[in-house]
Every structure is written in C-alpha cells, then in structure tokens.
Chains A and B, each alone.
Chain A
Amino acid sequence: EVKVVESGGGLVRPGRSLRLSCAASGFTFDDYAMHWVRQAPGKGLEWVSGISWNSGDIAYADSVEGRFTISRDNARNSLSLQMDSLRVEDTALYYCAKGYAAAGTVYFDSWGQGTLVTVSS
C-alpha cells in the first residue's frame, strides 16, 4: 500500500523557519518525483514545489521561490521542505504528494493527510 506521511507542522512567528518532512512507503521512492501542495484554510489547492527522482530537476511556485527549499533522501525514502522567512499567507495544510509523470504531464496519485503550518504573531 502506497503511503506518505507528513510531519513537522506547527505554530511559528512571521519571519521564522520551519522544516516539514514526508515519509514514504509502499512504492519504489526513487522512481518518482515528489511534490508539496498546500491548502490555506477554506481555500483551494496550491502547488508549492516539486523535485525529480534524482533531485536533478527542482521547481517552485513563484509565491515561495527563494524562501522554500525542497530536498529528498532516497536512501531514507523521505522528502523535506525547508521553509524560511515565513509569512502569514503561508498558513496552510501542507500535503506531500507522489507525482506520476507520463506523456509530458504530471498528476498526483497519492497524497498524505497533511501537516498544518500556522504563521502568526
């Protein structure tokens, strides 16, 4: 069974940092790109960042470029998101999602339950 489990969320002051983690199991982790998608309270889905299977290709949404850093450890089947200079508008439930790439497109075929990040003074 494919499973991804996020951790690391919490309450943090604006301008501070937080590191999210995602533990994956049930599939060959280093065969797939992985992504972070967030959802602000009562709002829609927003893609945050993605990383290819070998970390050779990394992309970010404009809203987090320069502040967030995605990384992965294939030996540990884990994905991370280092979030610096956090803003109130970064408050959201952060999902780890397994990406499936085919025919020049990517969709997300497995999602975790999310970890909540609250940025507030």
Chain B
Amino acid sequence: SYDLTQPPSMSVSPGQTASITCSGDMLGDKYVSWYQQKPGQSPLVVIYQDNRRPSGIPERFSGSNSGNTATLTISGTQPMDEADYYCQAWDRRTAVFGGGTKLTVL
C-alpha cells in the first residue's frame, strides 16, 4: 500500500510562514490535495491538484509538489489557521491520507 508521511506537529508565530511537508515514494508523479480540519469540524480542502486553491480559500495558502515531497505553505499565518492539516493522494483507485500535522500558531 502507498504511504504518506507528515510531521505530527509544528508551530509557527503569527505572521510567519508555515511549511508543512508530506512525503511519499515518487509523490511528485501524483496530484496532492490538502485539507484543514479544526476541532469539532469536518475537513475542508484548501489545496487540490498540488497548487490550486478552491474559491474562498485565502491566497496565503499555496502548495507545491516535486520529487518525493509535497509542501503546503501558509504565508503570513494567522491564529485562525491553527488546525490539523492532512495531505491526500490518489493511488490505484484508492485515496491515501497522510497522518496529519497539528499546526499551532503561537
């Protein structure tokens, strides 16, 4: 089975840039999506197809994917961005999620 690996947690100061990584074998050959999940809420897609933002998602969210690593970048991180973030890829007719990264903004 295909595995995606994320750091369990990271912290960032308000206004700084947060970069959350997701690694997998030849991940750059697949498209990656990113989901934000706040406590008690359902996941929300913030990036799809590596670097596309759905309507309504702030421009400070961006994504990249190359080699074995995809990265979600949040520029000018705000306190409201504190959440769990999950990467996701599609592999042989199944969806695979990373283990999630808890982002703390302090």
Q: What residues make up the interface of A, taking CB atoms closer than 8 Å to B? A: 35, 37, 44-47, 50, 57, 59, 61-62, 95, 100, 102-109, 111-114
Contacts and interface: CB of A to CB of B under 8 A. Distances in A.
A62 B90 contact: no
4 interchain residue pairs of minimum CB distance? A105-B31, A47-B95, A107-B33, A111-B42
A109 B43 contact: no
A30 B29 CA distance: 29
A111 to B, nearest CB: 4
The dominant DSSP class at the A interface is strand
28 contacts: A35-B95, A37-B43, A37-B97, A44-B86, A44-B97, A44-B100, A45-B37, A45-B43, A45-B88, A46-B97, A50-B93, A50-B95, A61-B94, A62-B1, A103-B31, A103-B49, A104-B31, A104-B90, A105-B30, A105-B33, A105-B49, A105-B89, A107-B88, A108-B35, A108-B88, A109-B54, A111-B44, A112-B42
Interface of B: 1, 30-31, 33, 35, 37, 42-45, 48-49, 54, 84, 86, 88-90, 93-100
A117 to B, nearest CB: 16
Contact of A114 (B30, B31, B42, B98): B42
Contacts of A35: 95
A114 B41 CA distance: 9
B90 A108 contact: no
Contacts of B88: 45, 107-108
Nearest to B89: A105
Nearest to A112: B42
A106 to B, nearest CB: 5
B86 A107 contact: no
A19 to B, nearest CB: 21
Contacts of B49: 102-103, 105, 107
B95 A106 contact: yes
Nearest to A95: B42
Contacts of B42: 95, 111-114
Nearest to B94: A59
A47 B94 contact: yes
